[in-house]
């Protein structure tokens, strides 16, 4: 089907090219005749004909296709009414576009305002006994999809994507919930925060003990000195996060992305690390004793693992396993820790 469509397009393009060449040839011959058929000037007349047809095409687009003639004759009425019909194509296109933008914009604002109202209710409940449920509702509000914010220009296609395309979480609502959780970071223990987006948030010294953060987006999040004891981080994305001196004892890190995470002096005792990505992570001083399903190959992909703490048997496995080729890039970390 695709090849058939491409073949049809090629035929149409070739037909248009052939028709254009014939028009240029006819116009060049006409100009050559007007000048008395001079010898050896065929290329010159071909060029002149092509330039003339281009100017006429531009004039037609500006004067006839666009509503310039209509506007001009409204400002300066002609002495004799023209019989040639006006081109109103662009007016129709603009009318449809502005209408689509108006509908999409109203729809977007209505959905966003509804989420803002719900979030305001959450904030008012933070000082009540319903605080925990209110914060969990904030996560649901953050995940609620909305149409994209339409733009009339220059992204003229966005109103139609907003009306007919897939909906996604609203960026402004996502940012507001991040700020709310960062404000309440001292007491986020035992909360259900599945699928939360806290990427880039400042959660320094946050209390997330026992919190459920499965599938959470914690990319680039600052979690230094945070208490994540017994938290659930299955399938969470912690790439580039700062977990220096964090308490991760007993955390479930199955299939968690810890790529290039700073785990300097972090407490990882008893963590479950099956299928965890540790590539480029900083393990300087990290305590990984009693860790479950600790993959030798992944540890060898981490930085400064020789300065981390492991059970004696696992440490023997590490030293008996060949280093990866190539070695992990640890240039992002402090050169003083290099081994």
Q: Over the stretch 69-113, which tens digit does the pLDDT of each residue have?
A: 766 776 777 776 666 666 666 777 778 888 999 999 999 999 999
| Residue 80: C-alpha distances to residues 62, 77, 83, 180 (Å) | 22, 8, 9, 69
Report how far residue 242's alpha carbon sits from residue 122's, in angstroms, rounded to the nearest whole number.
29
Half-sphere exposure of 170 (CA within 13 A, CB side): 24
| pTM of the entire predicted model | 0.75
Whether residue 230 is predicted with pLDDT greater than 50 in this model: the reply is: yes
**Containing H/E element for 169?**
strand 168-169
C-alpha closest to that of 84 among 68, 62, 66, 69: 69
Q: For the chain, which domains are there? A: 186-339 (2.160.20.80)
Three-state DSSP at 277 gives strand
Q: For residue range 197-211, what is the model confidence (pLDDT) as tens digits?
A: 999 999 999 999 999
What is the percentage of the chain residues whose pLDDT exceeds 70? Answer: 87
Instruction: Tell me: cis bond preceding 46? Omega within 30 of 0 counts.
Output: no
234 burial via Cβ count (<10 Å: 0-12, 13-18, 19+): middle
Q: Write the CB contacts of 104 (distance below 8 Å, at least 6 apart in sequence).
A: 147, 150, 158, 159, 160, 162, 163
Q: How confident is the model at residue 2 (pLDDT cuts 50, 70, 90)?
A: very low
Q: For residue range 121-173, what is the model confidence (pLDDT) as tens digits?
A: 999 999 899 999 999 999 999 999 999 999 988 888 999 999 999 999 999 99
């Amino acid at each position: 089907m695709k090849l058939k469509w491409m073949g049809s397009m090629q035929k149409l393009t070739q037909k248009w090219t052939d028709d254009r060449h014939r028009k240029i040839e006819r116009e060049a011959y006409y100009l050559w005749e007007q000048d008395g058929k001079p010898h050896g000037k065929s290329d010159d007349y071909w060029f002149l004909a092509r330039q003339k047809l281009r100017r006429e095409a531009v004039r037609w687009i500006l004067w006839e296709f666009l509503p310039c003639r209509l506007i001009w004759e409204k400002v300066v009425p002609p002495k004799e009414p023209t019989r040639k019909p006006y081109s109103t194509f662009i007016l129709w296109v603009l009318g449809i576009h502005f209408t689509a933008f108006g509908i999409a914009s109203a729809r977007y604002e209505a959905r966003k305002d509804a989420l803002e109202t719900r979030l305001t209710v959450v904030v008012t409940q933070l000082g009540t006994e319903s605080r925990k449920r209110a914060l969990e509702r904030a996560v649901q509000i953050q995940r609620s999809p909305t149409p994209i914010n339409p733009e009339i220009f220059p992204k003229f296609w966005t109103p139609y994507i907003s009306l007919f395309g897939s909906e996604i979480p609203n960026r402004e609502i996502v940012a507001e919930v991040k700020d709310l959780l960062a404000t309440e970071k001292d007491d986020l223990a035992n909360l259900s925060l599945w699928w939360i987006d806290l990427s880039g948030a400042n959660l320094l010294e946050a209390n997330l003990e026992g919190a459920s953060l499965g599938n959470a987006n914690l990319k680039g999040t600052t979690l230094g000195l945070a208490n994540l004891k017994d938290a659930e981080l299955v399938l969470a994305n912690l790439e580039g996060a700062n977990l220096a001196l964090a308490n991760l004892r007993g955390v479930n890190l199955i299939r968690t992305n810890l790529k290039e995470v700073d785990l300097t002096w972090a407490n990882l005792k008893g963590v479950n690390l099956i299928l965890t990505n540790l590539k480029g992570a900083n393990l300087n001083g990290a305590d990984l004793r009693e860790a479950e399903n600790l993959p030798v190959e992944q540890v060898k992909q981490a930085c400064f693992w020789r300065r981390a703490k492991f059970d004696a048997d696992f440490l023997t496995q590490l030293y008996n396993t060949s280093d990866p080729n190539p070695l992990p890039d640890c240039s992002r970390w402090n050169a003083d820790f290099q081994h």
